[in-house]
Amino acid sequence: MIHFTCDLCGKALLADEETRYIAKIEVYAAYDPVEITGDDLEKDHEDEMQSLLDEMADMDAEELEGQVYQSFRFDLCPKCRAAFVRDPLGKGMRLRARFEHN
């Protein structure tokens, strides 16, 4: 039998006991259309391209890929699912943490 635990609270989630929820998050680079002008077409971009290639040379493939796309999958119990749906970005936690230091 496969055993699951809630990724937020650590509670055991048995497949035959309680509803288990899955939260999937994808984070990827947004590429908006850019208006290309005549000046853009006439400009020599070789130095810019070489600079980017030099910068990327020191990075491994995972680091480069992580800047473009990442996905996450979490198992949640009903209580943590409800909390996640109410505040998926964790804004409430950041606000509480900021005011606790005062």
User: What does the pLDDT look like over 72-94, one tens digit per residue?
Assistant: 999 999 999 999 999 998 888 77
In sequence order, what are the residues at sequence separation of 6 or more whose Cβ sits closer than 8 angstroms to the Cβ of residue 75?
4, 5, 6, 7, 13, 20, 21, 22
Percent of the chain whose pLDDT exceeds 70:
86
Give the count of domains, the chain.
Answer: 1
Give how far Cα 47 sits from Cα of 7, 12, 42, 51, 64, Å: 46, 55, 14, 6, 20
Q: For residue 2, is pLDDT > 80?
A: no
On the question of pLDDT at 41 being above 70, the answer is yes
Domain that residue 55 falls in: 3-100
**Quick count: other Cβ atoms within 10 Å of Cβ 13?**
18
pLDDT band at 27, cuts 50/70/90? very high
Q: Are 75 and 5 in contact (CB under 8 A)?
A: yes
3-state SS class at 44: coil
pLDDT at 96: 65
Per-residue pLDDT at 101 exceeds 90? no
